[in-house]
Chains A and B, each alone.
Chain A
Amino acid sequence: MYGNDFGDFDDPGAGPLNAADTGEVEAAAAHADRRAELDLSDFDAIIAADQRIEPRDAMPEEYRQTLIRQIAQHAHSEIIGMQPEGNWLTRAPSLRRKAILIAKVQDEAGHGLYLYSAAETLGITREELLDRLHNGKQKYSSIFNYPTLTWADIGAIGWLVDGAAIMNQVPLCRCSYGPYARAMIRTCKEESFHQRQGFEALWDLMRGTEAQQAMAQDAINRWWWPALAMFGPRDTGEHAVKGGHTAQSMAWGIKRFSNDELRQRFVDMTVPQAERLGLKLPDPELKWNEERGHYDFGEIDWDEFWRVLKGDGACNAQRMERRVTSHKQGAWVRDAAAAYAAKSEGRKAAASNEGSAA
């Protein structure tokens, strides 16, 4: 019932709503495993042939650690992202929207789960990864340090934040590490659905009352720049980061496109959608550049980017506090489940011993 009941916004002539709508995910899913045929076993040869590394393969330790860090931070982002969206579960304005939002937050938990599972194939446990999140050694996407203040923020997150996330994630469907690539294929399909739902929620607001339109515009004013910042620092120029991991990740087939390339694609795809919605993007420098064949846009406030990344955003402390509290509060339940499982195993073993003795 929270399914394919999309309204008149679904105009097939208007182009894809997000990067997963382009067939790229399906193309990645169809990637042919030719390792046996090519007789590949060496790491560098597998990477060079654009084949997938699997958990049992030998791999450079730095490759393993890079992937653990990236997959874990992605998983952390999924579960921290449940908080700003969960903030509206009890206040969704219709039963249909409420059901859609419950399903969406459930999906984020599911994404977290299969990303942690993908990371576990690299020889680390979910518990260890959660520890690294809780003690601040690993981060989650900075976007979730912004608050969801109105219902329209839920639409804005779906449309912009999920849209940006998909733009980042679609190339990861072709990541050289097999379990991560496969997790991304599944995630992108679901995120694509969320992004459409976000667009549709804003569509309805923009065709609603003046107050609803103002609510939608206010949300976009607050979420546009943080969404652009999701692609990370500039690749070149004064705002670039020296000594980043990009070049190595590209060589390893983990990263396929630079931050600025992906950001440009996102802007190009999103601006016409904003026009369809009737929303004004809060950037006076935003303008089509005929020569480049792309939209020009203004500079992100990089001071704010680094400030929020380093902990001084509206919700950094709140998100972590809640995450850690929730985890602590659940400890006795996890302990009970483990104790019961051990007892059950013991009873089963005892029963089978008796069986064989008799």
Chain B
Amino acid sequence: MSSDTETTAATATGGPATAGAAHTAYLLGLADDALIYSHRLSEWLTWAPMLEEDMAMANISLDLIGQARSIYTYVGSIDGTNRTEDDLAYWRDEREFRNVHLVEQRRGDFAQEMARMLWFAAYQKGLYAALSGSADAQLRAIAVKALKEVRYHYDHAAQWAVRLGDGTGESHDKMQAALTWVAPYVAELFSDDANSVAAADAGVGVLPSTLQAAAASAVADVLREATLEAPADSRWHARGGREGVHSEPMGYLLAEMQHLPRSHPGAAW
């Protein structure tokens, strides 16, 4: 153990100097979700429907990149590799990223973004509420802070879903179509995998499947207020993100994001 973060974590948990592979893989899933969604939201800047929304998107993007950075730094200090946040963000290949497909999809229209944000924030709200009781003290501290942030993200998306659903005919139709667009990506958020099962067993993580009912019920309440229908379940569902099997937009996202540091190996920025 060398860094302060490590020492704090180890002291607080009385825990291990190096964590197990499942533990760190689970944490990387959380961080990768946050980073990739932060990246997509940052693409809204200058494209938002009003200046207030440019600012809100930036705000949410900043919260998420902050979550990602805290978790990456922590992972690098406990997985025995001493990797920095930038090593993890810029020098892993696509197959090593553990985010869900939902967050890597290309930016759509404003209704699609609010539909994506609504589900993602509903998931993160349950997630960080549960992780606020994690046996991993460092993760617990990150979760307590993140929970306050994602509550705001959820409220923001919910308010827009209602405004668009109960706004004009055009906005209603667009929001309804957006719910259909997002539907195939929702199940993956709440799917358990070997790492989340191990993390939950160790008292570190939470089983995603246990978060589904509350999130679905919250979204259903929003849709009711928004005069929107729950979309029919789609025939196909996104899967594989947690094992590093992604959809086609992910490669382009990483190519763009990682290009500069990889063109200058060893350089500091």
Give the interface segment out of A234-242, A243-251, A335-343: A335-343
With an 8 A cutoff between CB atoms, is B46 at the interface? yes
Which interface class (under 10, 10 to 19, 20 to 34, 35 or more) fits A? Answer: 35 or more
**Main SS class of interface, A:** helix
Q: Quick check: which of B6-14, B210-218, B258-266 contacts chain A, the rest being far away?
A: B258-266
How far, in whole Å, are A23 and B86 apart by their CA atoms in the complex? Answer: 37
Cβ of A151 to closest chain B Cβ, rounded Å = 6
- Can you report 27 residue pairs joining A to B where beta carbons are below 8 Å apart? A79-B46, A86-B45, A89-B43, A89-B45, A91-B257, A93-B267, A94-B86, A95-B69, A95-B72, A95-B89, A102-B65, A103-B62, A105-B45, A106-B58, A106-B59, A151-B260, A205-B269, A209-B266, A209-B267, A212-B267, A331-B49, A332-B168, A332-B171, A334-B49, A336-B164, A336-B167, A337-B167
Using a CB–CB distance below 8 Å, which chain B residues touch chain A? 35, 38-39, 42-43, 45-55, 58-59, 61-62, 65-66, 68-69, 72, 85-86, 89-90, 109-110, 162-164, 166-168, 170-171, 174, 253, 256-257, 259-261, 264, 266-269
B52 touches A113 (CB 8 A): yes
A-B residue pair count with CB separations less than 8 angstroms = 144
Residues 94-110 of A contacting B (Cβ, < 8 Å): 94-99, 102-103, 105-106, 109-110
B256 contacts which of A91, A105, A109, A326 (Cβ < 8 Å)?
A91
**Contact of A334 with B50 in the complex, beta carbons under 8 Å:** yes
Interface centre among A90, A109, A112 (most CB of B within 10 A): A109
Residue pair B257, A212 in contact (C-beta under 8 Å): no
Closest to B109 in A: A329
Q: Known contacts A90-B42, A332-B168; is A337 also within 8 Å of B264 by CB? A: no
Across the interface, name the chain A residue whose C-beta is closest to B260. Answer: A93
The residues of B that contact A102 with a CB separation of less than 8 Å are: 38, 42, 45, 58, 61-62, 65
In angstroms, Cα B269 to Cα A103, docked, is: 17
| 9 tightest Cβ-Cβ pairs between the two chains A and B | A330-B49, A336-B167, A336-B171, A106-B58, A333-B49, A93-B269, A109-B54, A340-B163, A93-B260
B39 touching A90, Cβ below 8 Å: yes
On whether the beta carbons of A79 and B51 are closer than 8 Å, the reply is yes
Closest Cβ neighbor of B175 among chain A residues: A336
Contacts of B163 in A (CB 8 A): 336-337, 340
Determine whether the beta carbon of B167 is less than 8 Å from that of A86.
no
A339 touches B46 (CB 8 A): no
Which residues of chain B come closer than 8 Å to A358, judged between CB atoms? none
B55 and A110 form a contact (CB under 8 A): yes
Residue pair A335, B86 in contact (C-beta under 8 Å): no
Chain A residues with CB under 8 Å of B61's CB are 102
Chain B proximity of A157: nearest CB distance (Å): 15
Q: Does A272 contact B (CB under 8 A)?
A: no
